[in-house]
Structure 1
Amino acid sequence: MRRGNIIKLIVLVLLVAVATGLSIKPLVDPVNGIPLGLDLRGGVHLVLQAEQDKEGNQITNDDIDKAKAIIENRVNDMGVSEPIVQADYGKKRIVVDLAGVTDPDKAVNILKTTAKLTFRDAQGKVLLQGDDLKDAKGGQGQGGQGYVVNLTFSSEGAKKFGDITTQLVGQRLGVYLDEELLTNPTVNTPILNGQAEITGYATLDEAAADAVLMRSGSLPVSLSIAEKRQVGASLGVDSLNKSIHAGIYSLIFIFLFMLIYYRLPGVVADFSLIVYGLIVLWAFWGFKVVLTLPGIAGFILSIGMAVDFNIIIYERVKEEIRAGKSIRAGVESGFSRAFITVIDAHVTTLIAAFTLYLLGSGSVKGFALTLGIGILVSLFTAITFTRQVLRWVVGISPKMKTFWFGVRGDV
Structure 2
Amino acid sequence: MLRFARWKIISIILMTALAVLIVIPSLLSPGARSALDAALPSWATPRTIVLGLDLQGGSHILLEVDNASVVKTMVDNARDDVRRTLRDEKVQITGGIGVLPRGVQVRVPDAAERARLMPKLRQLAYPGISALGQSGAAPYDLSDNGSGTIQMTVTDAGVTDRVRRAVDQSIEVLRRRIDESGTKEPSIQREGNDRIVIEVPGLQDPAQLLALVGTTAKLEFRLVAQPGEAPADVELLDQTDEQGKIPVEKRIMVQGEDLTDAQPGISSQTQQPVINFKFNIRGGQKFGQVTSENIGRPFAIVLDGKVISAPTIRGAITGGSGEISGNYTLETANKLAVLLRAGALPAKLTVVEQRTVGPGLGQDSINAGKLAAYVGAALVFAYMLVTYGTFGIFANIALAVHISFIFAGLVLLGATLTLPGIAGIVLTIGMAVDSNVLIYERIREESHSGRSIIQSLDAGFTRAFATIVDSNVTMFVAAAILYFLGAGPVRGFAVSLGLGILTSIVTAVTMTRMMIALWYRYQRPTRLPI
Please say whether Structure 1 and Structure 2 have the same fold, judged by a TM-score greater than 0.5.
yes
Q: Which of 51, 55, 65 is the equivalent residue of 1:50?
A: 65
Q: Which of 131, 137, 162 is the equivalent residue of 2:262?
A: 137
**Percent of residue pairs bearing the same amino acid type:** 35
Structure 2 CA distance for partners of 1:157 and 1:394, relative to 1, 3 Å: same
Shift of 1:32: 3.5
1:35 counterpart residue number? 50
Q: Which of 487, 496, 519 is the equivalent residue of 1:361?
A: 487
Q: How does 1:8-157 map to 2 (within 5 A)?
A: 16=16, 20=20, 23-26=23-26, 32-51=47-66, 52-53=68-69, 55-56=101-102, 58=156, 59-79=159-179, 80-89=183-192, 92-123=194-225, 124-125=248-249, 126-142=251-267, 145-157=271-283
- Say whether 1:339 aligns with 2:442: no
2:361 counterpart residue number? 235
| Contact residue 47 and residue 227 of structure 1 kept, 8 A | yes
Q: C-alpha distance in 2, partners of 1:60/1:333?
A: 61
Shift of 1:35: 1.6
Structure 2 CA distance for partners of 1:60 and 1:218, relative to 1, 3 Å: farther
Choose 1 or 2 for highest CA Rg: 2
Structure 2 CA distance for partners of 1:15 and 1:163, relative to 1, 3 Å: closer
Structure 2 CA distance for partners of 1:397 and 1:260, relative to 1, 3 Å: same
1:255 aligns to what SS in structure 2?
A: helix
Amino acid of the structure 1 residue aligned with 2:57: G
Q: Encode CA deviations 1:110-134: one digit per residue, 9 max, x unaligned.
A: 2132322111233312443435423
Structure 2 CA distance for partners of 1:16 and 1:40, relative to 1, 3 Å: same
Could you tell which deviates more after superposition, 187-196 or 238-247? 187-196
Structure 2 CA distance for partners of 1:226 and 1:233, relative to 1, 3 Å: same
1:33 aligns to what SS in structure 2?
A: coil
Structure 2 CA distance for partners of 1:367 and 1:195, relative to 1, 3 Å: same
Amino acid of the structure 2 residue aligned with 1:77: R
Q: Encode CA deviations 1:13-60: one digit per residue, 9 max, x unaligned.
A: 799578636631157669931222221222222222333146355431
2:415 counterpart residue number? 289
1:409 counterpart residue number? none
Q: C-alpha distance in 2, partners of 1:104/1:117?
A: 25
2:432 counterpart residue number? 306
Q: C-alpha distance in 1, partners of 2:273/2:512?
A: 61
Cα-Cα RMSD: 3.1
2:355 aligns to what SS in structure 1?
A: strand
Q: Encode CA deviations 1:193-236: one digit per residue, 9 max, x unaligned.
A: 21122233644442233233323433333222221111122222
Q: C-alpha distance in 1, partners of 2:10/2:290?
A: 77
Q: Which of 268, 277, 281 is the equivalent residue of 2:403?
A: 277
The count of aligned residue pairs is 400
1:85 aligns to what SS in structure 2?
A: strand
| Contact residue 57 and residue 358 of structure 2 kept, 8 A | yes
Note the residue ranges of structure 1 that are not aligned, 5 or more in a row: 407-411
| Contact residue 287 and residue 320 of structure 2 kept, 8 A | yes
Q: What TM-score comes out, normalization by structure 2 length?
A: 0.68
1:218 counterpart residue number? 344
Q: C-alpha distance in 2, partners of 1:15/1:163?
A: 63
Could you tell which deviates more after superposition, 274-283 or 98-107? 98-107
Q: Encode CA deviations 1:340-360: one digit per residue, 9 max, x unaligned.
A: 111111111111112222222
